[in-house]
Structure 1
Amino acid sequence: MKNSGRPIAFLAPFAAACMASLAALTPCGAAAQALAPAPEGATGRSTKTVEHSGRDMVAAANPIAAEEGRRILAAGGSAVDAAITVQFVLNLVEPQSSGIGGGAFLLHWDGREVVSLDGRETAPAAAKPDRFLGPDGKPMEFLAAVVGGRSVGVPGVVRLLEAAHERWGRIAWPDLIAPAIRLAEEGFPISPRLHGLLAQDDSLRSDPLAKELFYRDDGTPKPVGTILRNPALAKTLRALAAGGSAAFYSGDIAQDVVTAVTSHPTNPGDMTLEDLRAYTVEERSPVCGPYRSYRICGMGPPSSGGIAVQQILGMLERFDLPTIPPGPDFVHLFSEAGRLAFADRALYVADPAYVQVPVRGLIDKEYLATRSALISPDRSMGRAQPGDPPFRKTFLWGASDDAEFGTSHISIVDREGRAVAMTTTIESGFGARVMTRSGFLLNNELTDFAFEPIEDGKPAANRVEPGKRPRSSMAPTLVFDEDGRLYAVVGSPGGSMIINFVAKTLFALLDWKLDPQVAVDLPNVGSRNGPTEVERGTEAEAWIPGLEAKGHAVRAIDMTSGLQAILVGPDGLTGGADSRREGVAIGN
């Protein structure tokens, strides 16, 4: 392992000097804008105020993790350094959503170029397209497929973090893991959100190691405020601090992963030590395109997020959205664009190592104009059909939806204007409900593949194949102004709803000029080419009659996003963390 960077103690005098000045941030500051107050009637969910910082900022899903990231920034660490610390701490304090047993997508801005790294999990070499078919040849029930080793993909987070550190890290790798080691050994108080999710999940209790860690003898979750210690994870983290990713992908930790996967009593998997040794991080071309005077950059395949977000933006650019506030008229247009984007997503997007995804065609301005022309201001189209984008080399086939409800997002800007947008996941809440002896949960990412390998008599693009990465909807996003300066860092968890969560927030930031806290807290809405969905328990439910009048079939559902947004301006940074979760945006 390359151990770039200096110990934190060496950086203290340098950090103190830098913290006294805004000059390092100014070159990447965006043009000044007046942030608007919340639209009337659209603030019911906000429980937090926007955060301001003149130097740097981290927005993450848990306040303990965000605080440790802030300390890394205060010590002179880079955005990547802070992201590494935040991720390792999230593994401990928010185990239901992400960790070293999962995968992630990372976008990095160094002031000159955007680089995207793919740390998505891969299918074992023994995986076959019929992996999720039962003995009767029909798709398994989802939860039956999730729980156990069958759904576990080869984790990518540790190798991704190390690859990012080798390129952009400043602080020594062991110092970045030290906060998580300390918290694992000394303990942290169980939060209300973690307690509530533990209480709701019946499958996790069936894993003996998870039950011992999270539950009392009577099977009830340990109470809110209980100091939770994880000595097994502390030992694992010490090994990673000393040995880097090699300590994870070989040796005792790797064997623990394989044993947990293959020895599951009811639903074993087929991962091998060679699968772990062979895992690689892939650098992908970021998907960048225009929206009004801005440039939007996102993650490309195997994520559908960057493409779909840009399609929605591009299809709605012809509408005067700054004059259309949140309400039924906006939701109508937004949902119609979502139908068209999701129709293309289902047909064309999968792992680019296995199918030729027509990325250029899907975000082509003329193609999006033809798709936008299908949107009527007055009437819903119902179910959309996929389009015929240019530059398409092969015909691809559809695939089932994904659901990444065990996901988290990290947005960071450091004092030199470098930025990280990283969406990280173990897929469902608590992943495969399999805890390793090394103290971390494993993902169930393989259930993001199509359960039915054949659709309409043709192979599904997102079918299971050996070594393949399942399609994702994760959409870490960077926004640049007309002068090419960093303007915003955005992302969210939420499965396939991520696309609509992020697109909604971008419209709020770019068209309505809302501050990032108000933007992330606006009601979630959209369509995934099915019913039009509005967030239950918000003012969006009052918009249902207006939508039904335009021909929409509407469902009010829970839409628990975890958006993290940071705006960059000449006077510093403003940040917002989704009030639906316990995260915060904080800076120095």
Structure 2
Amino acid sequence: MTMNPRLRFAPFLVLAASGCATLERPTAPVAVPATARPGFVIAANPLAAKAGMEVLQRGGSAVDAAVAVQATLGLVEPQSSGIGGGAFMTYYDGRTRTVRVYDGRETAPAGATPTMFIGPDGKPLPFPVAVLSGRATGVPGAVRMLELAQREHGALPWNSLFEGSARLAEQGFVISPRLGKLLAGNYPELSAPDVVKYFSKRDGTRLTAGDLLQNPAYAAFLRRLARGGADVLYRGETAARIVAKVREETNPGAMSLADLARYRPLKREALCKAWQGYEACVPPPPSSGVGTLELLGLLDRTDIASRGPNDPQGWYLFAEASRLMYADRDRYVGDPAFADVPVEGLLAPDYLARRAALIAPTAGPPPAAGTPAGIVTAGRDRTNEPAGTSHFIVGDSNGNVVSMTTTVESIFGSGRMVDGFFLNNQMTDFNFSPTDENGRVTANAVAPGKRPRSSMTPLILLNGDRSFAGAFGSPGGSAILAYVGKAMMGAVLWKLPVQQAIELPNLIARGANFSGEASKFPPAVLAGLKARGVEVKPGQGEDSGIHAVLIRPDGRFDAGFDPRREGVVLIDDKRTAVARRR
């Protein structure tokens, strides 16, 4: 399949064997026979989606394509994810009808200390200072995780998955409008020397949208990665450069060659609960998937399904359920190897019923965390969770599906670059203060070898017979849970086409704050929310990047992308390839 570069940012494309035609934007699901088992890729950048589709059309599996998508995203969307970061993959096996989670979350170096983000004045470092420090970088996990998943579920050789991305890096790509917009923003990382150098023209001015950007160092690294496997990142010359980079002033980190060499991804049992006739499966802690399931469970204990997008009461119920969920998530979720996370207690039917009963006719003060079964004393959390993440979904012709959320944390990670890729600042996903004002240790405090809590929640839905029913996910920092919950509310509870569900206004209700896309709500909805004590204020930070697919009961393949970014849906039923994008 080829994509005309002149049409790269056209509103809506259908690419078929006979050529290209421009169509009106769809309002209904794409009709693809369920028996066709079409391969598909949904990603935040068309070049990354195209890389995944090319792998599928060579006979690759969903995981093979995911490797190619991630390799390309690290080049064309470096502000969001890359091989210097981490990821969670929720994987559906079409043959066994099972779901498995691959945890590629970064880990704290052995030299990390609970007070590493406390300054000389005894106060937490300001985030702009912490994010640019060497201390911000955790041991990256995405590449080791992808290697493990591909070893178990790949159909093509590992060394055949990177050349397209390497060639694109070598020849260059056109900076997209979104990347150009971020380069013109006001982020601390834009002052980092490596960011300044990488995005500068020969005359010293900054690159903008429409400019060609080449990255020969990344091309060379990808070719070494193809030949030598993940060890190329975790041992040898690249590992040495990573250690040297994080130890540069100011506020150097403690990462060592031993930390990189000992990193291991984890295979975890998916956390699955019944919901609306489906089984919803998410990663367990340190992911916040338990929060997503709690939110869905709380909504089930209201009459929200009888509401709709123009009913302020429906949005009010969503906001109040979100606040209850976030209060629990913020208090209790952390790395289960270091903290006792009351997962079953948070999802117990009687606990959900008690929490849902707290939803009053009007919004009150921020709700406190509840007392689920299995809790231990945990300090009040004050983790700052900036957004710099991407989500993609891939399915192959054998019915295998990858739902993967991947990140370098905030915009361009720590702003430090090695071999053409940015290093993450994932350590700033820990609570900067190890204890709260009462001296209680927080669930998400820093500790050596610990994985920071993540808001990433790549989700897969199963039917009652455990056949694949759908997948959802989004970037957005702590707002991820609200973004995913909103899309599922719209698509499943309100029965909207997936594309319309994704395009519903975003509303993030956490603590005392109600933020989101205030200008996109109908005036009557805003007025109704205000009468209920909810005043939606314009949100800050990164937009959502929701991607989703549902197999409707009549067999229709209903997929959507987030128009707030540069998303695309590619579908290949062996006869025609369909591409949808904003």
Say yes or no: TM over 0.5: yes
Q: Which residue of structure 2 aligns with residue 507 of structure 1?
A: 489
The answer to whether the 8 A contact 1:402-1:495 is kept is: no
Deviation at 1:73, TM superposition (A): 1.4
Q: Which residue of structure 1 aligns with residue 421 of structure 2?
A: 440
* SS of aligned partner of 1:300: coil
The 2-side partners of 1:445 and 1:421 are apart by 21
Deviation at 1:360, TM superposition (A): 1.1
Deviation at 1:458, TM superposition (A): 1.1
Identity among equivalent positions (%) equals: 44
| Aligned 1:445-524 pairs, distance under 5 A | 445-455=426-436, 456-524=438-506
Q: Which residue of structure 2 aligns with residue 361 of structure 1?
A: 345
Q: Which residue of structure 2 aligns with residue 147 of structure 1?
A: 132
1:334 to 318, 329, 336: 318
Matched, 1:135 2:116: no
Q: Which residue of structure 2 aligns with residue 191 of structure 1?
A: 176
The 2-side partners of 1:49 and 1:229 are apart by 39
The 1-side partners of 2:83 and 2:61 are apart by 21
* SS of aligned partner of 2:221: helix
Matched, 1:534 2:516: yes
- In angstroms, what is the RMSD of aligned CA positions? 2.0
The answer to whether the 8 A contact 1:47-1:579 is kept is: no
The 1-side partners of 2:26 and 2:76 are apart by 21
Q: Which residue of structure 1 aligns with residue 150 of structure 2?
A: 165
2:253 to 254, 269, 272: 269
Q: Which residue of structure 2 aligns with residue 42 of structure 1?
A: none
Deviation at 1:211, TM superposition (A): 2.4
Q: Which residue of structure 1 aligns with residue 333 of structure 2?
A: 349
The 2-side partners of 1:374 and 1:244 are apart by 52
The answer to whether the 8 A contact 2:87-2:142 is kept is: yes
Q: Which residue of structure 2 aligns with residue 13 of structure 1?
A: none
Letter in 1 for 2:431: A
1:85 to 39, 59, 68: 68
Matched, 1:550 2:542: no
Matched, 1:583 2:561: no
| Aligned 1:365-384 pairs, distance under 5 A | 365-376=349-360, 378-384=361-367
**Judging changes above 3 Å, is the alpha-carbon distance between structure 1 residues 220 and 546 closer, same or farther for their aligned structure 2 residues?**
farther
Letter in 2 for 1:121: E
Q: Which residue of structure 2 aligns with residue 289 of structure 1?
A: 273
Deviation at 1:540, TM superposition (A): 5.5
Unaligned 5+ residue runs, structure 1?
1-18, 21-45
* SS of aligned partner of 2:184: helix
The 2-side partners of 1:135 and 1:468 are apart by 24
Letter in 2 for 1:416: N
| Aligned 1:185-264 pairs, distance under 5 A | 185-201=170-186, 203-217=188-202, 219-263=204-248
Deviation at 1:49, TM superposition (A): 8.2
The 2-side partners of 1:421 and 1:161 are apart by 13
The 2-side partners of 1:364 and 1:135 are apart by 44
* SS of aligned partner of 1:537: helix
Deviation at 1:166, TM superposition (A): 0.8
Q: Which residue of structure 1 aligns with residue 46 of structure 2?
A: 63
* SS of aligned partner of 1:574: strand
Deviation at 1:553, TM superposition (A): 4.7
Matched, 1:126 2:108: no
The 1-side partners of 2:483 and 2:502 are apart by 8
**Judging changes above 3 Å, is the alpha-carbon distance between structure 1 residues 276 and 564 closer, same or farther for their aligned structure 2 residues?**
same
Q: TM-score, normalised by structure 1?
A: 0.88
Q: Which residue of structure 2 aligns with residue 72 of structure 1?
A: 55
Deviation at 1:201, TM superposition (A): 4.4
Deviation at 1:533, TM superposition (A): 2.1
Deviation at 1:75, TM superposition (A): 1.8
The answer to whether the 8 A contact 2:302-2:356 is kept is: no
Range that drifts further, 553-562 or 336-345:
553-562
Deviation at 1:565, TM superposition (A): 0.6
| Aligned 1:97-116 pairs, distance under 5 A | 97-111=80-94, 112-116=97-101
Letter in 2 for 1:447: T
Deviation at 1:135, TM superposition (A): 0.7
Letter in 2 for 1:403: E
The 1-side partners of 2:412 and 2:524 are apart by 34
Q: Which residue of structure 1 aligns with residue 7 of structure 2?
A: none
1:211-253 deviations in whole A, cap 9, x for unaligned?
2321225553213222211111111111110110111100001
1:286-307 deviations in whole A, cap 9, x for unaligned?
1111112111111110112x11
* SS of aligned partner of 1:179: helix
* SS of aligned partner of 2:162: helix
Q: Which residue of structure 1 aligns with residue 394 of structure 2?
A: 412
Q: Which residue of structure 1 aligns with residue 308 of structure 2?
A: 325
**Judging changes above 3 Å, is the alpha-carbon distance between structure 1 residues 48 and 247 closer, same or farther for their aligned structure 2 residues?**
farther
Q: Which residue of structure 2 aligns with residue 34 of structure 1?
A: none
Deviation at 1:325, TM superposition (A): 0.9
2:545 to 558, 562, 566: 562
Corresponding pairs, count: 540
**Judging changes above 3 Å, is the alpha-carbon distance between structure 1 residues 482 and 518 closer, same or farther for their aligned structure 2 residues?**
same
* SS of aligned partner of 1:195: helix
The 1-side partners of 2:388 and 2:537 are apart by 23
Letter in 2 for 1:385: A
* SS of aligned partner of 2:381: coil
Deviation at 1:398, TM superposition (A): 2.9
The answer to whether the 8 A contact 1:492-1:563 is kept is: yes
| Aligned 1:278-317 pairs, distance under 5 A | 278-304=262-288, 306-317=289-300
The 2-side partners of 1:323 and 1:525 are apart by 19
Deviation at 1:206, TM superposition (A): 3.7
The 1-side partners of 2:52 and 2:134 are apart by 32
The 2-side partners of 1:168 and 1:78 are apart by 7
Q: Which residue of structure 1 aligns with residue 4 of structure 2?
A: none
Deviation at 1:48, TM superposition (A): 9.2
* SS of aligned partner of 1:115: strand
Deviation at 1:186, TM superposition (A): 1.3
Deviation at 1:397, TM superposition (A): 2.6
